Amino acid sequence: MHQRRTLEELVTGVAARLMAVDSRTVVEACTAVLRDLVEYLDVDVCFLRRNDEELDATVLVAEWPPRTNVPTPDPLAVVFFRDADPIFAAAKHATEVKIVRPHADDYQRRVKDGSGVDQTSMAAVPLLSGSVTTGVLGFVKHGDREWLVSEINALKAIAAFLAQLQARIAAEDRLRYLAEHDALTGLANRRSLLSELEHRLEPGRPGPVAVLFLDVDRLKVVNDALGHAAGDAYLRAIGGRLEAAFAADLVVRMGGDEFIIVVRAPTTMDGAHQLAKQAQVVAAEPVQLQTEEVSRSVSIGIALGVPGRSSVAELVGFADQSALAAKAQGGNAVVGFTDEMRTRAQERNDIEMHLRSAIHGDELVLYYQPEVDLASGQIIGVEALVRWQHPIRGLLLPDSFIGIAESTNLAGELGRWVLWEACRQMHDWQESLPELSLKLRVNISPAQLISTDFVETVARVLEEYELSGVDLCLEITEHAVIHDLDRVLVTLRGLNELGVHVAIDDFGTGRSSLGQLKQLPVDTLKIDRGFVHNLGNSSDDLAIVKSIISLADSFGLDVVAEGVETVQAAEMLLELGCGNAQGYLFSKPVPPAEVLEILQRGGKVADYPADR
């Protein structure tokens, strides 16, 4: 029935079959075409080979019928032109159809080695791309065969289709390669990482999927000392080594000095740790750059993904976060993602998402922590401390959201709310107790301090709530001051004119020089609670507190100690000449109603000083 097809029908059949082929289906489709040709032309073997420029060889693409008992290595699979016999060698540049009739030579011997058949005739039709020979379509007939001109012409047409197909697939492969690989190292890139993980995390696939996030420690030093070309060469060397050592796995360059390894087999945290240790050893081997031998350690974070449950972004993010934690340990460490880190990451996300609406809704509240006169135990001030009454997580302390506010530009909005609310509260207390003498302390974030309309805002809020400047003391950190000293100076002078006091919070933890301190129009130093809570047991702390107090003295500044938890510490402070303090010994931060209670019962905080 095949015989009834015309040659023309044969050619159009082949063309149709090759139309939608891509690199994954090309071998299968070509094999089907060859089978068709074997049947139609009544030959014994048909094969398709392509010329590989890089290898300088002719490579078997497809054949029909499949050979049995193929030796390894297969002498017909890759034939290098340099040691090829004349017939294969001719495939390199052949532009004309070649017909070979039976006679003994090297070619016959090679075919016999590969197929056990002797006495053959063959036809070789070159695949041409322009004037370049890109492969060969070959036919073998045991014994002799004559080839009609019409047959040869049909085969030339088919060879042209195959050449076209090869060119198209090579171009597609190249495009895909470029899209999926990193230009510097030739490793897979972020995009192939994402598609690999998407596939690996599909429901029902085996897991856990282990992701190792590698971050080279201090590569900048190499770049700075030897130049960026050396840094690039270093990354190429590391990338190549990792790829060789983790040949079964996917090694990705994420950009910069970051690599990711996705372990192919399901892997536990313990297993992943072992692999990470191996990766550290591989990556730390020295690389020769110019005349220097360079070696860097790597920090590695590990995260495990569960197919059907983890998302790609989450898995990569967790691995990244673990790598940061490894770096934070000083480098050369391996850190696995923990449930605790997961909870923290989720909280952070959630806080980031809801903080803005919390500020503008009514979820923020202020607590107030009394500050006392150490000698009398009388309340002399309160510090406003913000809390977030979170609908799900309960009452959140500022440490869990102030940092996020500052990194997302919400610090200004949050700070404005705190200032207005604290002053409103102060106004309330003054209304209830006309004789009240109480200082209100409010914490100010760096973003507020450098904003150009800050002084104006403070002036407006004082006016709105009928407060005088001396009722208010703003607390800033050394850290905020050093950032933009000139701008801060302008702000501080403005506050000074309003009569508003300024305290340096957490004093002793920063690095501000005395010289800088001298220029700053501030009124108070607040001794950081880190030096206070262990006062009496630590001679270091004692020395620091002593010198802060004498420093304050010599600049004519007030001094307040925070974090006083023991009577011992309170007494020692008094002795050293620090008269004002704040701490759990006197009172924790409390809601405004409790402050009113303290004030109404005469301003004495609970049980201090102990009855003498």
Binding site for ligand C2E (CB under 6 A): 369, 385-386, 397-399, 402, 415, 418, 443-445, 475, 505-506, 529, 533, 562-565, 582-584, 589
Q: To the nearest whole angstrom, how small is the minimum distance from the Cβ of residue 445 to ligand C2E?
A: 4
In the chain, the N- to C-terminal Cα span, in Å, equals 119
Give the nearer residue to ligand C2E in terms of CB position, either 282 or 482: 482
Residue 301's binding partner, choosing from Ca ion, ligand C2E, none, with beta-carbon cut-off 5 to 8 A by kind?
Answer: none
Residue 471's binding partner, choosing from Ca ion, ligand C2E, none, with beta-carbon cut-off 5 to 8 A by kind?
Answer: none
Structure tokens at 113: 């080695």
Residue 386's binding partner, choosing from Ca ion, ligand C2E, none, with beta-carbon cut-off 5 to 8 A by kind?
Answer: ligand C2E
Give CA–CA dist 445/459, Å, rounded: 18
In this structure, which amino acid lies at residue 137? L
Give CA–CA dist 138/48, Å, rounded: 6
Give the nearer residue to ligand C2E in terms of CB position, either 265 or 397: 397
Q: To the nearest whole angstrom, how small is the minimum distance from the Cβ of residue 577 to Ca ion?
A: 20
Q: Using CA of residue 138, residue 139, residue 140, residue 145, what is the dihedral sign?
A: negative
Residue 544's binding partner, choosing from ligand C2E, Ca ion, none, with beta-carbon cut-off 5 to 8 A by kind?
Answer: none
Q: To the nearest whole angstrom, how small is the minimum distance from the Cβ of residue 475 to Ca ion?
A: 4
Give the nearer residue to ligand C2E in terms of CB position, either 164 or 400: 400
Residue 370's binding partner, choosing from ligand C2E, Ca ion, none, with beta-carbon cut-off 5 to 8 A by kind?
Answer: none
Q: To the nearest whole angstrom, how small is the minimum distance from the Cβ of residue 399 to ligand C2E?
A: 5
* Contact in structure between 124 and 94 (CB atoms under 8 Å): yes
Q: To the nearest whole angstrom, how small is the minimum distance from the Cβ of residue 562 to Ca ion?
A: 5
Residue 583's binding partner, choosing from ligand C2E, Ca ion, none, with beta-carbon cut-off 5 to 8 A by kind?
Answer: ligand C2E
Residue 385's binding partner, choosing from ligand C2E, Ca ion, none, with beta-carbon cut-off 5 to 8 A by kind?
Answer: ligand C2E
Q: To the nearest whole angstrom, how small is the minimum distance from the Cβ of residue 433 to ligand C2E?
A: 24
Residue 402's binding partner, choosing from ligand C2E, Ca ion, none, with beta-carbon cut-off 5 to 8 A by kind?
Answer: ligand C2E
Structure tokens at 260: 């990711």
Residue 121's binding partner, choosing from ligand C2E, Ca ion, none, with beta-carbon cut-off 5 to 8 A by kind?
Answer: none
Q: To the nearest whole angstrom, how small is the minimum distance from the Cβ of residue 357 to ligand C2E?
A: 18
Structure tokens at 300: 């590695």
Q: To the nearest whole angstrom, how small is the minimum distance from the Cβ of residue 583 to ligand C2E?
A: 3
Q: To the nearest whole angstrom, how small is the minimum distance from the Cβ of residue 528 to ligand C2E?
A: 7
In this structure, which amino acid lies at residue 311? S
Give the nearer residue to Ca ion in terms of CB position, either 334 or 561: 561
Residue with tokens 């020395």: 543
Give the nearer residue to Ca ion in terms of CB position, either 443 or 587: 443
Give the nearer residue to ligand C2E in terms of CB position, either 398 or 494: 398
Give the nearer residue to ligand C2E in terms of CB position, either 508 or 563: 563
Residue 398's binding partner, choosing from Ca ion, ligand C2E, none, with beta-carbon cut-off 5 to 8 A by kind?
Answer: ligand C2E
Residues near 456 by Cβ (< 8 Å), separated by ≥ 6? none
Count Cβ atoms below 10 Å from residue 8 Cβ, excluding itself. 11
Can you tell me whether residue 271 is helix, strand or coil? helix
Give the nearer residue to ligand C2E in terms of CB position, either 51 or 448: 448
Q: Give CA separation, 502 vs 255, 496, 498, 591, in Å.
A: 46, 8, 11, 24
Give CA–CA dist 271/274, Å, rounded: 5
Give CA–CA dist 370/598, Å, rounded: 9
Residue 446's binding partner, choosing from ligand C2E, Ca ion, none, with beta-carbon cut-off 5 to 8 A by kind?
Answer: none
**CA nearest to 523, candidates 465, 450, 473, 598:** 473
* Contact in structure between 131 and 110 (CB atoms under 8 Å): no
Q: To the nearest whole angstrom, how small is the minimum distance from the Cβ of residue 360 to Ca ion?
A: 24
Residue 399's binding partner, choosing from Ca ion, ligand C2E, none, with beta-carbon cut-off 5 to 8 A by kind?
Answer: ligand C2E
Give CA–CA dist 486/403, Å, rounded: 24
Give CA–CA dist 281/325, Å, rounded: 20
Q: Do β-strands 287-289 and 298-305 pair in parallel, antiparallel, or remain unpaired?
A: unpaired
Can you tell me whether residue 133 is helix, strand or coil? strand
Q: Give CA separation, 611 vs 376, 397, 566, 607, in Å.
A: 11, 33, 15, 7
Give the nearer residue to ligand C2E in terms of CB position, either 54 or 399: 399
Q: To the nearest whole angstrom, how small is the minimum distance from the Cβ of residue 410 to ligand C2E?
A: 11
What are the helix (H) ranges across 42-128? 86-90, 106-115
Give the nearer residue to ligand C2E in terms of CB position, either 34 or 386: 386
- Under the rule (CB under 5 A), what is the footprint of Ca ion? 443, 475, 505-506
Give CA–CA dist 535/565, Å, rounded: 10
Element (H, E) at 385: strand 379-390
As a dihedral over the C-alpha atoms of residue 93, residue 97, residue 99, residue 105, rounded to 10 degrees, the angle is 10
Q: To the nearest whole angstrom, how small is the minimum distance from the Cβ of residue 404 to Ca ion?
A: 18
Within a 13 Å sphere around the CA of 375, how many CA atoms are in the beta-carbon half? Answer: 5
Give the nearer residue to Ca ion in terms of CB position, either 509 or 516: 509
**CA nearest to 63, candidates 55, 72, 74, 52:** 74
Give the nearer residue to Ca ion in terms of CB position, either 471 or 475: 475
